[in-house]
Amino acid sequence: MINIPQNCPECGQMYRKADATIVSENKNNFLFHLTCDKCQVSTLMHVQIGARGILSVVKITDAGKKDIDKLRGNKSVSTDDVIEAYLALKELN
């Protein structure tokens, strides 16, 4: 079981379960988005579980829950997408 941070880093308000959304998860990596109910400051928390322990990083973000929901529905950028963008930009020069 992974515990989310208990308090908002901005105002100290205790988080509720409803404040947390799982953005992505796979075998040993999790990305959570939390929005404080009191001050509305959002944070992203990345948790990586490894053989030697758990690593977590928490960052304040300006992305709100609606932004995260939009991003979550998008497909990943492929190598072909990057090459296509590079060639299009190269033609502009």
Q: Where in the chain are the domains?
A: 17-92
> What 3-state DSSP class applies to 83?
helix
pTM flag (> 0.85): no
As a three-state string, the secondary structure of 13-74 is CECCHHHEEEEEEECCEEEEEEECCCCCCEEEEEEEEECCEEEEEEEEECCCHHHHHHHHHC
CB burial readout 47-67, b (16+ within 10 A) else e: beeeeeeeeeeeeeeeeeeee
Task: Identify the DSSP state of 7.
Answer: B
Give the pLDDT mean for 35-45.
Answer: 91
Q: Bigger pLDDT: 48 or 75? A: 48
Dump pLDDT digits (tens) for 49-82. 888 888 888 889 988 878 877 777 677 788 999 9
Instruction: Look over the chain and give the mean of its residue pLDDT values, rounded to a whole number.
Output: 85
